[in-house]
């Protein structure tokens, strides 16, 4: 028999905006639920290293799912006649429906990039439900620096351009194999999906006007930012932390926008103390 | 810039044309683009992924399809063996406008990783690393 990884992947169907969506989910470990949200335009494979890390999985049930339209989760029926666009409300609904479908009690939710943004919304609106939120590369506001139209047009290869755009955000110190694995996920994204995600991340999901309302006594907030992230920069994360009283902020030297997948060995050095603190 | 431009250009040409995988990725690229360093512009000609010519731009009527420009102080950081943050990639230099791209950028976008890797060929090798 092959030596299997401890990750188990399954499919289930859940309601998303009144439609049945077939969702792919992976998990490993037992204990405190740790729901992981992937970056825009990618999928849950980004978290595979966490799920194979016994130091984490002996205390945490690590769960990562592909958002609808991403990875091995289906887009809804009739997708070919729609333009995908992730909104703040839809994103919150998806995460909450997922957690309720799994009947998770007091989970920790950790998201990266746009996932790091939505967890801040959840820290405010679902403070009684989540034990804690961890925002990786998750500022409460960002400014666009390229036109999203390049990401979905017939004369530019969608997978190639998405990967080439985000390759700018990987730290030079990250191992080459993990760098290119991270980019492979982007090369495999569906047409227009990264663009649709960035609608949330760059436009609809701004939250700096309400992030000061987060009560970190009710729901602790951890912000971890990679030094080489040129989108959600350490400065933007610091500004977010300054607005969220009581939040914990850390810059991760030598890491870019994809800590869990571009340099998992380095990332765990920063994540483990946070998980230890949350465990109490 | 601590290194002279000529040696960087030579390194870029040798780096690209000596990298069969990079040439293969650029095999559909046939054009001339401008590389700007301070106020000096160079016309870089690409032929099926190979760099066949890099010449100073002497006349206004000589031009490229698109241009990539930055100040020498920014290129210097970009070409360090381990660039500091914001300088690790052409596109990481855009948010703070350390680099500018102009012109018809469609072929740049169609071959973005190729062009980024071409420019990165000017990067100094890390100490102890084998010469390519």
Residue of B109, B110, B114 best to disrupt the A interface, most CBs of A under 10 A: B109
Q: Do B113 and A167 touch (CB under 8 A)?
A: yes
Q: What is the DSSP string of B66-114?
A: EEEEE-HHHHHHHTSSSPPTT-SSTGGGTTTTSEEEEE--HHHHHTHHH
Q: Do A172 and B94 touch (CB under 8 A)?
A: no
The beta-carbon neighbor of A164 closest among B92, B95, B112 is B112
Q: Do B82 and A172 touch (CB under 8 A)?
A: yes
Question: What six digits make up the tokens of A50?
Answer: 């966490």
Average pLDDT over residues A22-49: 98
Locate the domains of chain A by residue range.
8-279
Specify the CATH number for the domain of residue B112. 3.30.1050.10
For residue A146, which residues of chain B lie inside 8 Å, CB to CB? 91, 94
Q: How far apart are CA A206 and CA A260, in angstroms?
A: 24
In a domain, B129, yes or no: no
Q: Do A172 and B91 touch (CB under 8 A)?
A: no
| Average of per-residue pLDDT values in chain B | 93
In a domain, B18, yes or no: yes
pLDDT band at B1 (very low <50, low <70, confident <90, very high): low
In a domain, B126, yes or no: no
B114: containing domain: 5-120
The beta-carbon neighbor of B92 closest among A164, A173, A230 is A230
Q: Is the per-residue pLDDT at B130 higher than 50?
A: no
For residue B110, which residues of chain A lie inside 8 Å, CB to CB? 155-157, 161
pLDDT in tens, A121-176: 999 999 999 999 999 999 999 888 888 999 999 999 999 999 999 999 999 999 99
* CATH T-level fold of A8-279: Rossmann fold (3.40.50)
Could you give the number of structural domains in chain B?
1
pLDDT in tens, B43-75: 999 999 999 999 999 998 999 999 999 999 999
pLDDT band at B124 (very low <50, low <70, confident <90, very high): confident
In a domain, B125, yes or no: no
Closest CA to B19 of B125, B126, B117: B117
Q: How far apart are CA A10 and CA A25, in angstroms?
A: 6
CA distance A147 to chain B (A): 11
Q: Do A228 and B90 touch (CB under 8 A)?
A: no
For residue A233, which residues of chain B lie inside 8 Å, CB to CB? 95
In a domain, B42, yes or no: yes
């Amino acid at each position: 028999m092959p030596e299997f990884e401890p990750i188990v992947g399954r499919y289930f169907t859940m309601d998303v905006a009144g439609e049945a969506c077939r969702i792919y989910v992976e998990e490993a470990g037992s204990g405190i639920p740790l729901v992981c949200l992937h970056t825009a335009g990618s999928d849950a494979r980004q978290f595979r290293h966490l799920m194979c890390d016994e130091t984490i999985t002996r205390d945490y049930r690590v769960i990562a799912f592909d958002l609808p339209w991403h990875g091995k989760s289906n887009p809804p029926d009739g997708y070919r006649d729609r333009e995908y666009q992730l909104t703040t409300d839809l994103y919150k609904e998806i995460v909450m429906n997922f957690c309720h479908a799994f009947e998770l009690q007091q989970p920790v939710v950790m998201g990266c990039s746009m996932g790091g943004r939505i967890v801040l919304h959840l820290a405010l609106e679902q403070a009684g439900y989540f034990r804690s939120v961890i925002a990786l590369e998750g500022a409460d506001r960002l400014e666009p620096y390229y036109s999203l139209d390049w990401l979905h047009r017939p004369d530019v290869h969608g997978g190639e351009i998405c990967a080439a755009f985000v390759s700018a955000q990987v730290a030079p110190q990250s191992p080459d194999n993990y760098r290119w694995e991270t980019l492979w996920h982007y090369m495999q994204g569906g047409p227009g999906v990264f663009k649709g995600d960035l609608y949330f991340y760059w436009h609809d999901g701004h939250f700096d006007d309400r992030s000061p309302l987060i009560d970190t006594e009710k729901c602790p907030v951890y912000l971890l930012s990679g030094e080489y992230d040129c989108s959600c920069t350490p400065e933007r994360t610091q500004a977010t932390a300054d607005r969220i009283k009581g939040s914990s902020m850390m810059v991760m030297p030598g890491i870019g926008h994809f800590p869990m997948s571009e340099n998992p060995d380095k990332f765990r050095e920063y994540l483990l103390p946070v998980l230890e603190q949350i465990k109490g | 810039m601590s290194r002279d431009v000529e040696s960087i250009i030579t390194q870029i040409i040798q780096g690209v044309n000596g990298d069969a995988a990079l040439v293969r990725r650029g095999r559909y690229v046939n054009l001339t683009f401008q590389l700007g360093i301070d106020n000096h512009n160079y016309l870089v000609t690409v032929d099926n992924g190979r760099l066949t010519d890099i010449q100073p731009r002497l006349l206004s009527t000589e031009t490229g399809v698109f241009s990539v420009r930055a100040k020498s102080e920014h290129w210097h950081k970009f070409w360090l063996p381990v660039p500091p943050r914001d300088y690790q990639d052409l596109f990481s230099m855009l948010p703070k406008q350390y680099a500018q791209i102009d012109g018809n950028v469609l072929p740049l976008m169609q071959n973005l990783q190729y062009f980024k890797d071409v420019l990165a060929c000017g990067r100094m090798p890390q100490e102890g690393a084998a010469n390519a």
